[in-house]
Amino acid sequence: MHNVDYEKQPGMENFHPSLVKGPVGINMNYMGEADVFGPEAKISARKVNFYYGAKRALNNINISFSPRRVTAIIGPSGCGKSTFIRLINRMHELVPGTRFEGEILIDGLDILSPACDAAELRKRVGMVFQKPNPFPKTVFENVAYGLEVNGVTDKHLIEEKVVDSLKKAALWGEIKDRLKDSALGLSGGQQQRLCIARCLAVSPEVILFDEPCASLDPISTAKIEELILTLKKEYTIVIVTHNMQQAARVSDNTAFFLMGDLIETGRTDRIFKAPRDKRTEDYITGRFG
């Protein structure tokens, strides 16, 4: 689409050529991009189209996500960013009357194919939602849920995992005495970290965050962002966000969606300093959206 000589683009001079790595293997030439940060792709989407009934919500999306990196997906409301990440753990199947084309590979396997079991996939690809959605159960039961559903019966193992997950989610210190209290009694920020702990308990490889701070105050937001930065050491993270400062703070790479199209991807610092597409520039400078 855009045959840009990016070496000559402003902002490109400030990173080392060794960091410039193509999104590996497939679709080297997508959007003319080659500055996504990180090793070989953990997830790659190829030629993904998505339809709600007759309405097309995603147009030919080609994108890769590097392992142990945070990729932010930004874009105005209705641009398809949530639709897109809900394909990665097949939550789109919950909405009747939808249809997709193309494929999404995780470690080389097409997770959209009928041969791939959705429940198995979701153990590997966890999700944290826009509004904290703890079960109306105790704190402990919330975190243990995923383990029990997945057939873990050993009480000690469950307990160990629950404690471990709560610690990883930076929640243990605050609620270690409240494990038997209802999760609904926690504050919004604590509930969201509980949802993260719940997700970590099933040992996923990928975590999808769908605007995780949309309903949180700034302090809780800061805690979640800090947590995301810790988690990326172990997990591949994709985060949808409306908040561009947030994208700038937490992500390594950024993808900009607009009206179902993937407009631009690249290293976050480059996208914010030197967007190549006029539309990206307009969006991040607040001219629309």
Partner 1 sequence: MKRRDIIQKIGFSALFACMAANIFFLGGIIFFIAARGLSSINWAFLTQAPRDSMTAGGVAPAIVGTFYLTMGAIIFALPLGVACAIYLTEYSPKGWIVNLLRISINNLAGVPSVVFGLFGLTVFVKYFGFGVSILSGSLTLGILALPLIISASQEAMTAVPQSIREASLALGATQWETIRRVVLPAALPGILTGVILSVGRVAGETAPILFTAAAFYVKGYPHSPFSEVMALPYHIYALMTEGTHPVEQTRIAYASSLLLLGLVLSVSMLAIYIRARQRKTYNA
Cβ atoms 72, 255 nearer than 8 A: yes
- Distance, CA of 289 to CA of 228 (rounded, Å): 25
Closest CB 118 distance from partner 1, rounded Å: 8
Cβ atoms 255, 71 nearer than 8 A: yes
Q: Which is nearer to partner 1, 207 or 284 (CB)?
A: 207
Cβ atoms 139, 186 nearer than 8 A: yes
Give the binding-site size for partner 1 (rule: CB under 8 A). 29
Q: Could you say which residues in the range 188-227 bind partner 1, by CB under 8 A?
A: 195, 198-199, 202
| Beta-carbon contacts of residue 21 (< 8 Å; ≥ 6 apart) | 34, 36, 37, 38, 39
Interface characters, 89-128, with partner 1 (x: CB under 8 A) = x-x--x-x----------------------xx-xx--xx-
Closest CB 23 distance from partner 1, rounded Å: 26
Residue at 50: amino acid letter: F
Closest CB 81 distance from partner 1, rounded Å: 17
129 near partner 1 (CB under 8 A)? yes
Stretch that binds partner 1, among 7-15, 104-112, 133-141, 213-221 (CB under 8 A): 133-141
Q: Which is nearer to partner 1, 195 or 250 (CB)?
A: 195
Instruction: Give the other-Cβ count within 10 Å of 77's Cβ.
Output: 8
| Beta-carbon contacts of residue 64 (< 8 Å; ≥ 6 apart) | 23, 24, 26, 27, 36, 41, 43, 44, 45
Q: Which is nearer to partner 1, 117 or 154 (CB)?
A: 117
Q: Which is nearer to partner 1, 125 or 228 (CB)?
A: 125
Buried b (16+ CB within 10 A) or exposed e, 99-114: ebebebbbeeeebbee
Write out the residues near partner 1 by the rule CB under 8 A. 89, 91, 94, 96, 119-120, 122-123, 126-127, 129, 131, 133-137, 145-146, 148-150, 182, 184-185, 195, 198-199, 202
